[in-house]
Amino acid sequence: MINSLRGMNDLLEKDEYKRFTYFIDIANSVAQRYGFHYIETPLLEETALFKRSVGESSDIVGKEMYQFIDKGENDVCLRPEGTAGVVRAFIQKKLDRAGGIHRFFYHGPMFRYERPQKGRLREFHQFGVESFGVESVYEDVIMIMMVADILKELGIGYRLQLNSLGDSNCMPQYRENLVSFIESVEDEICEDCKRRKETNPIRVLDCKNEKCQALYQNAPKLINALCDSCQSDFNKLKSILEKNNIAYEIDTNLVRGLDYYSKTAFEFVSDDIGSQSAIAGGGRYDRLVEFLDGRPTPAVGFAMGIERLMELIVMPEESREGYYFGAMDEEAVEIIIAMTQKKRKTQKATCEYRARNLKAHLKNADKANARYCCIIGSNELEHNTIWIKDLINKSEETISIKEF
Ligand code: HAM
């Protein structure tokens, strides 16, 4: 027997696909209400795209890419995240040259060769949003509000964690100070952190090793070393969130797992799903368009992990809806198929192709969660009528097919 690959799941069980489509419907509709447009980019891209954007020092690129050489000798990989592809499309379509504001949303599968566990898959689905052309911190607020709105509609509680990663003004000096600090404790830190010190020192701050974490308690904090413009933007962000009753926590170790961020970085976490608690993450990435050979364009975005959210969604109660048609006589089968087809043009309608007894049809109608069970037997056939039972208020009637 052939099974699905480790960390890759089918979306098959009734409850699962309902949660999935319920999430997508809500997230799509919120994004559209915010004036964002749908974008779809390929699952497969040149490996160089992710190396240059997500960053060679990140775990995603360093350890987790589904990378291979295709039949045309191209070095390609399955996308580990959605931002890089959207930025590539934005530049390829010359929208960076067109100027103006461009706002997109997307959803689809992402691939990371991680160690699978609860909430951590090798193929998972994200809903994401990317906004290009707005330098103002107001757009960062919009991103956070959009995540908060989606979570509210889904009935999901969260904690919002915030940090600022500075910009090209204040980051280089901070990095130097941090490297000096790391060198002062270098004998005690883990091998990964030693590597991070060389490639992207701020990534040491979110090392999961407890000993490293204890040492970094005394590390200099970027939040205390922001330049005036980053500090003023960060203050503005906090103040607008407060005015809009969006609670947040400052997490000075929040550096995100991807290298492209500057200024605002944020994560939404849930305390109800175990150790893989990040349900959404994002931030500003003002330099990425330029890194990928586009015209410098400010940008900000986020992505939500759909599988993690599916664990938390509070589904609305389902009410009975639509029609179930059944025949008790072989001769009536074609009639009920035609009637189902007609009803379907405007409402939910299903039918059974085999002639069966009333009990079996009522059971089927119940299973299909239909409101009306509509049956034609030999008696109805003779009089051109149809028997209908309302499965909510339990009333029954027989009416002419014409009237129906
Ligand atoms: P990320 O933080 O790597 O950001 O992923 C966003 C979300 O995807 C996470 O918060 C988590 O819910 C979910 N996720 C990540 N890895 C897995 C996994 N292995 N299994 C299940 N769920 C997972 C990004 O991907 C950025 N592109 C977000 C962004 C958009 N930043 C700016 N624009």
Residue at a domain's end among 263, 286, 312: 312
CATH of the domain at 367: 3.40.50.800
Q: Are residues 259 and 384 in the same domain?
A: no
What are 182-196's pLDDT values in tens digits? 999 999 999 989 988
7 domain-assigned: no
Q: Measured in angstroms, how far is the CA atom of residue 236 from the centroid of ligand 1? A: 26
Q: Are residues 137 and 65 in the same domain?
A: yes
Confidence at 180, pLDDT banded by 50, 70, 90: very high
Mean pLDDT of the chain: 95
Q: Are residues 244 and 352 in the same domain?
A: no
Q: Measured in angstroms, how far is the CA atom of residue 304 from the centroid of ligand 1? A: 6
Pocket test for ligand 1, best of 6, 126, 255 (most atoms within 8 A of CB): 126
What are 293-343's pLDDT values in tens digits? 999 999 999 999 999 999 999 899 889 999 999 999 999 999 999 999 999
Structural domain total, the chain: 2
Please identify, by atom number, the ligand 1 atom nearest to the C-alpha of residue 130.
33
195 domain-assigned: no
Q: Which residue's alpha carbon is nearest to atom 30 within ligand 1? A: 302
Q: Are residues 371 and 307 in the same domain?
A: no
Mean predicted confidence (pLDDT) in 120-148: 98
CATH of the domain at 126: 3.30.930.10
Q: Are residues 272 and 348 in the same domain?
A: no
Confidence at 4, pLDDT banded by 50, 70, 90: very high
289 domain-assigned: yes
Q: Which residue's alpha carbon is nearest to atom 12 within ligand 1? A: 305
384 domain-assigned: yes
Asked whether residue 257 carries a pLDDT value surpassing 90, the answer given is no
Q: Are residues 393 and 371 in the same domain?
A: yes
According to the model, what pLDDT value does residue 84 have? 98
Q: Are residues 286 and 339 in the same domain?
A: no
Q: 42-46, 59-63, 109-113, 356-360: which has the minimum mean pLDDT?
A: 59-63
49 domain-assigned: yes
Q: Which residue's alpha carbon is nearest to atom 13 within ligand 1? A: 305
Regarding predicted confidence, which is higher, 79 or 218?
A: 79
Confidence at 371, pLDDT banded by 50, 70, 90: very high
Asked whether residue 57 carries a pLDDT value surpassing 90, the answer given is no
pTM: 0.93
Provide, rounded to the nearest whole percent, the portion of the chain with pLDDT above 70: 100
Q: Are residues 257 and 357 in the same domain?
A: no
Asked whether residue 206 carries a pLDDT value surpassing 90, the answer given is no
Q: Which residue's alpha carbon is nearest to atom 18 within ligand 1? A: 120
82 domain-assigned: yes
According to the model, what pLDDT value does residue 244 have? 96
What are 380-396's pLDDT values in tens digits? 999 999 999 999 999 99
Pocket test for ligand 1, best of 112, 130, 158, 308 (most atoms within 8 A of CB): 308
Q: Give the structural domain span for 371.
A: 323-400
Residue at a domain's end among 262, 283, 312: 312
* Pocket lined around ligand 1, Cβ cut-off 6 Å: 81-83, 112, 114, 120-121, 124, 126, 128, 130, 257-258, 278-283, 285, 301-303, 305, 307-308
125 domain-assigned: yes
Please identify, by atom number, the ligand 1 atom nearest to the C-alpha of residue 257.
3
Please identify, by atom number, the ligand 1 atom nearest to the C-alpha of residue 268.
10
194 domain-assigned: no
Residue at a domain's end among 312, 337, 367: 312
Q: Which residue's alpha carbon is nearest to atom 22 within ligand 1? A: 305
According to the model, what pLDDT value does residue 259 have? 85
Q: Which residue's alpha carbon is nearest to atom 33 within ligand 1? A: 301
Q: Are residues 150 and 275 in the same domain?
A: yes
What are 75-130's pLDDT values in tens digits? 999 999 999 999 999 999 999 999 999 999 999 999 999 999 999 999 999 999 99
Asked whether residue 234 carries a pLDDT value surpassing 90, the answer given is yes
Regarding predicted confidence, which is higher, 58 or 365?
A: 365
Q: Are residues 304 and 367 in the same domain?
A: no
Count the alpha carbons within 13 Å of 74 in the hemisphere toward its beta carbon.
11
According to the model, what pLDDT value does residue 115 have? 96
Q: Are residues 235 and 334 in the same domain?
A: no
Q: Are residues 31 and 135 in the same domain?
A: yes
